[in-house]
Structure 1
Amino acid sequence: MDEEKRITLRLPAGLHAWLAAQAKSARRSLNSEIVYRLESERTAAEADAESP
């Protein structure tokens, strides 16, 4: 990341708990888990946009 931006994010409690569990399982922080998932989704969306 060239530059980082700080945001406040409100999540439903169930989603927060699920993400926290996924992060723990992957040995990542909650923040890193969210960034990882968003970047993965962005990569997939870009690949879909490029395919015919």
Structure 2
Amino acid sequence: MDADKRISLRLPADLHKRLVEQARRDRRSLNSEIIHLLEAATASAPRDTESP
């Protein structure tokens, strides 16, 4: 079984454009760029210990 999960994601057109441009600058695919950004954001994000 594949460890990767597929999702369908809708992005605003302007955000998609910025992500494509950033991926090109970083020499990554769009998918790899999004994964990189999500990993970086979740690694440094403080944990919310309070219940909603």
CA distance in 1, matches of 2:3, 2:40: 18
CA distance in 2, matches of 1:3, 1:40: 20
Greater fraction helix: 1
CA RMSD of aligned residues (A): 1.3
CA distance in 2, matches of 1:3, 1:33: 19
Taking structure 1 as the reference length, the TM-score comes to 0.82
One-letter amino acid of the structure 1 residue matched with residue 24 of structure 2: K
Match of 2:50 in 1: none
Number of residue equivalences: 46
Residue 28, structure 1, aligned to residue 28, structure 2: yes
Q: Which has the larger radius of gyration?
A: 2
- Give the 5 Å matches for 1:1-52: 3-45=3-45, 48-49=46-47
Taking structure 2 as the reference length, the TM-score comes to 0.82
CA distance in 1, matches of 2:26, 2:38: 15
Runs of 4+ aligned structure 1 residues displaced above 3 Å come to none
